[in-house]
Structure 1
C-alpha cells in the first residue's frame, strides 16, 4: 500500500468547478481522485448538491458537517482509509445510495438506521464482522454488498428487511451449517460490487493485500495446540 501523503487543498472556486450535472439533472460535486487527506471545509457552502463523490482519496475521517448535506441522495466514499463513520451520517434523511466499499471500517454507527430512504448500501472490502442492529430499520433497502469482510454468518438483522433483493456475502469466512435466520434474504453470488478491472492500481494492490491477510487470519492453525 502506498504512503499517505499530506494531501491536496481544494478551494471553494475549485470545488465549484467540480460540480457536474448528472444524466438525470442532479447536481453532483465530484471530488474523486483529488489526493485529499481531509474533506475540504469550504464545501459546506455547497451542501445543496444531491450527489457527493469523495472516492479514491486519502480520507481517514468524515467531518460532522456532513450533516448539512440533507438534500444528498448519493454519497460515494469508496477507496479511502476510513476507519469509522460519524453519527452525523444519520442526518442524511434523503440518502438513497451509500458506497463505503474498500475502506478500513470495523463497525458502523447505530445512526445508520435513520437513513429511511436508503435502498443501496455498498460495504464490500472492509473489516466488518457485524452490522448494527438498527440496520433492520432500513425498510427501503433493496441491495447490500458485504463481500470481502469478516462475517462468519449472514447478519440476522437483514431477515427483517422485506424489500431486500440482493445481498453479496462472497469471500467471507462463513461458518458451515450455520442456523437459518427467519425469512433469510436471497444470497446472490452473481452480484458483484466491484470488478477488478475497474480498480485503479492502488485499489487493486490494496485488495490483493487484504485478501491475503483475510485468508491468513481465517486459515486453520494445525500446528498450534490449545
Structure 2
C-alpha cells in the first residue's frame, strides 16, 4: 500500500524520446511541445534539449515549481501552465521576451510569489491569472503595454490598479468573482470589454456636406421612429389553400368505399 502511494507521488517520468514524440506542429507552422495531462510532478530536465520549440504546454499536471532553467526557451511564444499546483514563478520567466501568451490559471499563486520580472514581457498579449490566491495586482503589470486580454477571475482581489485597467491595448478584462467592496464597481471590473476601435471625434465644420447629412440622419432616426404611427396589422388570408388534411380525408373515404365494394 505504502509503496504504491509513494510511486504515485513520483508521477510519470518523461524521457527525451517521449518528449520528442510529443512535439506537434501548430496551426501557424510553429513547433509545440505538448506534455499536458501526463501526471508530471517535477519539471522534466530532458526537455531543455528541445528548448528551440515555439510553444510549451505543461498544463493539467501536478507541478509545484518551474525552474530558472525555463530561460533556455528563448524562442517561446506560447506557455501554458494552467491547472498545476504552482505556488511561485521564477524570476527567469521575465527573460522570455518573445512570449505573447501566458496561462497560469488554476494554480496556488499568491501576490508575493508573482515575480516583478513579469513586467519585462513587453510582447505579452494574453495573460491568464484566474483561479489563484491573489489578493492584489502589482502595479508593475502596467508596463505590459501590448496586453489585450487579462483574466483575474476567482481570486481575492478588492481592487485593480488604474494603470492596469487602463492599459492602451486592453480589450478584455475578466475579474469576475472577486470580493470587490462595491457591488457596482465589481460589475464594472468583472467583465470590462472595450469594443470601440478607431473612434475619432471631429467638429461639424470639418465634415463635408454629404457626411454631415448622413450623421444628422443617423442622429434623427430614433426620433423619426417614435413619430411613426403603427399600421393596423392585417391577418393573412389564403383563400386558394385547402382546409388542412381535406384531401387526405377525401382519399381515405375513397379507399374505404373500395374496400367495402371490391
Per the normalisation by structure 1, the TM-score is 0.76
The structure where helix makes up a greater share of residues is 2
Q: How far did 1:90 drift? A: 0.2
Query: What is the alpha-carbon distance in structure 1 between the residues aligned to residue 162 and residue 181 of structure 2?
Result: 14
> Cα 1:186–1:172, aligned 2, differ >3 Å: closer, same or farther?
closer
Residue 122 of structure 2 contacts residue 144 of structure 2 at CA under 8 Å; is this kept in 1? Answer: yes
> Which of 57, 71, 74 lines up with 2:78 in the alignment?
74
| 1:1-226 equivalent positions in 2, closer than 5 A | 5-107=9-111, 108-176=114-182, 187-188=190-191
TM-score by length of 2: 0.66
Tell me the C-alpha RMSD between the 2 structures.
2.2
The runs of 5 or more residues in structure 1 that have no matched partner are 180-184, 191-226
Q: SS at the partner of 1:5?
A: helix
Task: Give the unaligned 5+ runs of structure 2.
Answer: 1-5, 194-262
**Residues 186, 129 of structure 1: CA spacing in aligned structure 2 closer, same or farther, 3 A cutoff?**
closer
Matched position secondary structure for 2:56: strand
| Structure number with larger C-alpha Rg | 2
In the TM superposition, residue 153 of structure 1 has moved relative to its aligned partner by: 1.3
- Cα 1:159–1:177 shift into 2, 3 Å: same
**Alignment coverage as a number of residue pairs:** 184
Distance 1:145 1:171 in 2: 11
The 2-side partners of 1:46 and 1:133 are apart by 34
